[in-house]
């Protein structure tokens, strides 16, 4: 006689599937197409302490290149509200410079998940004040670990300008994004994932952008 499974017996399987989806969404080198969105408000910009707003659209596209390796393409495309730095009103809204990164990553990672590869900054900005006007290249790496209820990791890159518009300043800058996720029930999770930047060529006191904050999401 065939025995029917009860709802209580099915629940652990359903919960396990939810947890696996949560972890895949939170893993920037997972074999899963995703399009995270992140909004950063940078206070105290310019002489009049105005507010800059940057919405980062961050699609992640994985491609299997062999049985043991994936190629993960991760793109950051900013939409920027840039106030005029020397005026107390007005500004420009438009695209910032696109930052694609290409991570070869093991298809069957161990406890430490990683990817490393080239990154670039493409001058796609629609205004001279929302981008740098330089094509830049450099290395990038991501490291993360996924524990029960937690995803902890860091992504870092540094780029140097190769070619660009005459009269625009050369580029030497770092991007660092750490991410801390705590998984809740029913697919919800808490998230901290600020994008920190450092302009190594900027004058003292103007080189770092360090946003803070967090949010919640559902997979």
Specify the pLDDT at position 15. 54
Task: Report pLDDT digits (tens) over 63-83.
Answer: 999 999 999 999 999 999 999
C-beta of residue 198 within 8 angstroms of C-beta of residue 172: no
| Least confident range of 4-13, 89-98, 104-113, 209-218 | 4-13
Q: DSSP characters for 104-148?
A: EEESS--SEEEEEEEEEEB---SSTTSS--EEEEEEEEEEEEEET
Give the span between the Cα atoms of 82 and 91, in whole angstroms: 5
* Close Cβ partners of 93 (under 8 Å, ≥ 6 residues apart): 79, 80, 81, 82
pLDDT digits (tens, 9 = 90+) for 30-68: 778 889 888 888 888 888 889 999 999 999 999 999 999
pLDDT score of 89 more than 90 = yes
pLDDT tens figures, 154-203: 999 999 999 999 889 999 999 999 999 999 888 888 999 888 999 999 88
Mean pLDDT score, 134-162:
95
Query: Which of 31 and 129 is assigned the larger pLDDT?
Result: 129
- Ranking 82-91, 136-145, 197-206 by mean pLDDT, the lowest is 197-206
- At residue 9, does pLDDT exceed 50? no
Tokens linked to 49: 């302490």
DSSP track, 67-112: SSEEEEEEEEEEEEEEE-TTSSS-EEEEE--BEEEEEEEESS--SE
Hey, what domains does the chain have and what are their CATH numbers? 18-218 (2.40.128)
Distances (CA, A) of 195 to 18, 47, 55, 148, 163: 27, 23, 11, 25, 25
pTM of the model: 0.82
d(CA 130, CA 194): 19
């Amino acid at each position: 006689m065939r025995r029917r499974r009860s709802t209580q017996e099915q629940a652990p399987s359903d919960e396990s599937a939810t947890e696996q989806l949560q972890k895949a969404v939170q893993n920037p080198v997972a074999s899963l197409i995703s399009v995270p969105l992140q909004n950063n408000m940078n206070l105290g910009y310019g002489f009049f302490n105005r507010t800059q707003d940057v919405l980062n659209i961050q699609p992640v596209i994985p491609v299997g290149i062999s049985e043991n390796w994936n190629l993960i393409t991760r793109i950051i495309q900013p939409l920027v509200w840039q106030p005029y730095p020397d005026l107390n009103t007005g500004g420009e809204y438009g695209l910032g410079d696109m930052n694609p990164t290409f991570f070869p990553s093991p298809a069957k990672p161990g406890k430490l998940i990683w990817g490393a590869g080239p990154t670039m900054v493409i001058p796609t900005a629609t205004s001279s004040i929302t981008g740098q006007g330089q094509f830049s290249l450099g290395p990038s790496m991501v490291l993360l670990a996924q524990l029960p209820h937690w995803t902890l990791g860091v992504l870092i890159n540094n780029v140097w300008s190769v070619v660009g518009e005459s009269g625009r300043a050369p580029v030497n800058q770092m991007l660092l994004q750490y991410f801390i996720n705590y998984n809740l029930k029913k697919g919800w999770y808490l998230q901290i994932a600020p994008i920190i930047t450092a302009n190594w060529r900027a004058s003292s006191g103007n080189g770092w952008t360090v946003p803070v904050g967090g949010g919640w999401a559902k997979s």
